[in-house]
Structure 1
Amino acid sequence: MTAPALQLRDASIGYGDVAIVRGVDLTVDHGEAVAVLGSNGSGKTTLARGVLGLATVLGGDVQVLGAPVGRLRERGRIGYVPQRHTVSGAVPATVREVVGVGRLARLGLFRRLRAADRSAVADAVAAVGLGDRLGDPVASLSGGQQRRVLVARALAAEPELLIMDEPTAGVDAASQEALAAVLARVSAAGTTLVVVTHEAGPLSGVLTRAIAVDHGRISYDGPLAGAAPDGGGHHHPGDPDRLEPPRYRQDQPRVTTDRRR
């Protein structure tokens, strides 16, 4: 692999024609474990969504796994855990079914899971400590366990790059410890980790590098231990970073088994 996992050059990212993140230069090499830190409204989530193709690159260049953002053919090479705390939906689903959706990125929408795919799903569920709950409805799980199901869904695709948005928010200490153990194993296996968070403490044993976003710009890039406790950024009312439109917010989760993800 010659190209970095992520490379941004003078990148501006936003929604519509409004830039939330501006003039970012950033390189993340394969196998790194990086925290993207910042206070609410700093632009850290917009930065991650730009890498995922969920926000618009308004200027500069964004390369993901050696391809321009949005043009990577093998979508299963990227795993994503969105900013939501639980799995919910109008249609009841088991842990196996929800995690199986993550495997579709490797197969395509109209192909059935094979034995190898079912094994990958079982391995992903076991990795997050829920191997004995494969056939259980996700609605029967605690919030922290449902959070781990979302992680397993991303892991099922066996991604090279795993991006997570606030994975420890709203879950108890035991679930945070379980997640840290999972990510330690994933990182040791060579997967590149990018974790968006306002507080990296629960994952400080896994993440080694910190990128702090403040008012849409990178204010710090270095060892995690050297980052300010609040991520190096402070938000003030009226900052333009709060222009992110409601349609991109994920604090009102609904169905997480959407096959388009």
Structure 2
Amino acid sequence: MNDPALRLAGATIGYGDVAIVRDADLTVRRGEAVAVLGSNGSGKTTLSRGVLGLATVLGGTVEVLGAPVGRLRERGRVGYVPQRHTVSGAMPATVREVVTVGRLPRLGLFRRPGPRDRAAVAEAVAAVGLADRLEDPVASLSGGQQRRVLVARALAAEPELLIMDEPTAGVDAASQAALAGVLARVSAGGTTLVVVTHETGPLAGVLTRAVVVDSGLLTYDGPLAGAGAPAGPDCHHPAEAAGRPARGYSLDQPRPAPDAVRVRDGSR
């Protein structure tokens, strides 16, 4: 339990032979609440995807909860809320059914949910303030409420580390405030938070540390108040600026940062 939640040492992360994040050194202690900041295309989402095993570690070391990335045996120890606004409105599923999906890493392939699993789902839904909507179709919820369903889905696995990509994007101020309250409670319970975002305002009372990614390099690591905020029109995702729905990871990746390099035969 004394191991860091995350440890990167000289880590280079990318796609194929294209390095997006380069030579990253970062340690996140258990229980910390950290913002990963950067403008669109800076590499901040690639950093989080490398930690999740969804992007390739091309060099250096990435460890998650004391294990090399991709080798953590209990996948439920890491929760993830992806970068998208809502659950699909066409999904004919209830809140309970969607959140139960988050319990699968704890269940394994063949075990059916038992009383402990059902209790974890109910607790996760209550934690995001939707206990009274447990049996409602997700399509009947507002965008902000659907966003909270995705958070509950991640919380259902009872993760030690929760990684979130743009959790406040595209939802109204009331929903942002509700989410901030949820994360404050989660953080107070000891869960490590890593939040990839371009706007820290709604979560400023929760996040205490910031890491800034600029053109694939970590350029700042310190108190949130000293990080500043990415400025300019590129700090928002293009789909958001155009009023189109977000499409998940593809908004940020796999576009290389301006000075991304290719890695071949172990050299850069």
Alignment of 1:1-261 (within 5 A): 1-88=1-88, 91-230=91-230, 248-249=249-250
- Structure 1: which 4+ aligned runs deviate by more than 6 Å? none
Measure how far apart 1:109 and its partner are: 2.7
CA contact (8 A) 2:83 2:248 kept: no
For the 8 Å contact 2:14–2:20, the answer to whether it is kept is yes
Report how far residue 199 of structure 1 moved: 1.0
Partners of 1:141 and 1:247 in 2: how far apart?
20
Provide the C-alpha distance between the structure 2 equivalents of 1:155 and 1:247, rounded to a whole number of angstroms: 19
CA drift at 1:231: 7.7
Partner SS, residue 36 of structure 2: strand
Instruction: Please tell me the residue identity of whatever aligns with 2:55.
Output: A
SS in 2 for 1:171: coil
Q: Is the 8 A contact 2:91 2:138 kept in 1?
A: no
Find the aligned partners of 2:34 and 2:3 in 1 and give their Cα distance. Answer: 17
Question: In structure 2, do the counterparts of structure 1 residues 231 and 162 end up closer, same or farther at CA, with 3 Å as the change threshold?
Answer: farther
**In 2, Cα distance between the equivalents of 1:91 and 1:51?**
29
| 1:256 corresponds to | none
Instruction: Give the fraction of aligned pairs with identical amino acids, expressed as a percent.
Output: 81
Greater shift, 85-94 or 60-69, is seen at 85-94
Structure 2's unaligned 5+ residue stretches are 236-246, 253-268
Q: What is the Cα deviation at residue 90 of structure 1?
A: 5.3
| 1:108 positional shift | 1.1
Work out the number of aligned pairs and report it. 240
Whichever residue aligns with residue 119 of structure 1, its letter is A
**d(CA) in 1 for partners of 2:150 and 2:185?**
17
Aligned partner of 1:145: which letter?
Answer: Q
Equivalent position SS for 2:103: helix
Q: Distance in 2 between matches of 1:128 and 1:196?
A: 19
What does residue 242 of structure 1 align with? none
> AA paired with 2:47?
L
SS in 1 for 2:102: helix
Give distance in 2, aligned partners of 1:39 and 1:107: 38
Identify which range, 170-179 or 103-112, moves more after superposition.
103-112
